[in-house]
Amino acid sequence: MTTPRTLRRSILALAGAAVLAALPAAAAPAGHLEGYVLAAAHLPGFSGSYWTTDLWIYTESATTINLWYNRSGQDNSSVQSVVIPLTQPVTFLPDVVANTFHAAGTKGSVHYLANGLVEVVAKTWTPGPTGGTFGQVADGMPVSLASTPGAGPDGSLRMLVNQATTSRVNLGLVNVTGSPATVSVEIDTADGQPAPGASTFTVNLQPYDMQEKDKILAGLSTAASQGLIVRASVSSGNGAILAYLSEVDNTTNAPATQEGFRFGY
């Protein structure tokens, strides 16, 4: 059975409040109720890569989890959830985009909401050029870490990277709300000054949209630079965002990914 996203969130928020209220006041809850796997895929990429995402869900209390697959570049407000029963501590969903969401040939984000605390872990991988596989493992990000409109400089999301000719750098942006958002992206040098060349751009995100911008350093006028700072913030609209940066080796397609962090809440 599926339920519209806003209603399902209201129902499970009540259950989640009861779970959190039962925790000792000084305890930090292990896990969270709602979050995002920022990138999931089943499609080809650059340099002969072909990306697939596997998903693990760990829980000690939840019995069900709702999963929404938000395809890249579209309004996902009307997407219905897939309800997964959690009958043991770990539930494994291989090739989640193709098998669970029946959306082979696409990429997007996975929004999840459980009736108890969970940890969600994703592995996105590609076959290696000479055998084996290359990939990355990323934890699901709680929605509480999102950057919101008017958050100011401390509330913008930051990611750090070195520029090199041997790799490509991609930026992923995920709108975690049902409102559109315009995201401003700035690339600064290690001393906080704008990087030379095309170092600013904007991305328009539809409700529950995910977009990945490839090779974001290609427009800089330098071929190599250390300690670049990539900043992303909501410049207009009422949406809120999570972000990631992926540096991919051009020869092996081995990726290294980091989630955007903020200094203030």
Domain end position, chosen among 110, 145, 180 = 145
Question: Are residue 95 and residue 208 in the same domain, yes or no?
Answer: no
Q: How far is CA 142 from the centre of its chain?
A: 10
The CB density around residue 184, as the number of other CB atoms within 10 Å, is 15
Question: Are residue 17 and residue 137 in the same domain, yes or no?
Answer: yes
Local structure of 131: helix, strand or coil: strand
Per-position pLDDT tens, the chain of length 265: 455 676 555 554 444 444 334 333 333 345 999 999 999 999 998 888 899 999 999 998 999 999 999 999 999 999 999 999 999 999 999 999 999 999 999 999 999 999 999 999 999 999 988 888 888 899 999 999 999 998 888 889 999 999 999 999 999 999 999 999 999 999 999 999 999 999 999 999 999 999 999 999 999 998 778 999 999 999 999 999 999 999 999 888 888 999 999 987 6
Contact yes or no for 109/34 (Cβ under 8 A): no
pLDDT digit string, tens, across residues 71-123: 999 999 999 999 999 999 999 999 999 999 999 999 999 999 999 999 999 99
Domain end position, chosen among 117, 145, 173 = 145
Asked if residue 264 is part of any domain, the answer here is: no
Question: Are residue 46 and residue 175 in the same domain, yes or no?
Answer: no
**Count: domains in the chain:** 2
Which two structure tokens, joined as six digits, stand for 261?
Answer: 């962090």
Phi/psi region, residue 31 (left: phi>0; alpha: psi -120 to 50; beta: rest), is left
Task: Please list, in sequence order, all residues whose beta carbon lies within 8 angstroms of the beta carbon of residue 27, skipping any fewer than 6 positions away.
Answer: none
Question: Are residue 93 and residue 161 in the same domain, yes or no?
Answer: no
Question: Are residue 124 and residue 157 in the same domain, yes or no?
Answer: no
| Residue 73 structural domain | 5-145
Q: How far is CA 92 from the centre of its chain?
A: 19
Which CATH number fits the domain that encloses residue 218? 2.60.40
Local structure of 20: helix, strand or coil: helix
pTM over 0.85: yes
Closest Cα to residue 89, out of 53, 122, 61?
61
Asked if residue 265 is part of any domain, the answer here is: no
Question: Are residue 58 and residue 108 in the same domain, yes or no?
Answer: yes
Question: Are residue 31 and residue 122 in the same domain, yes or no?
Answer: yes
pLDDT digit string, tens, across residues 46-56: 888 899 999 99
d(CA 158, CA 238): 20
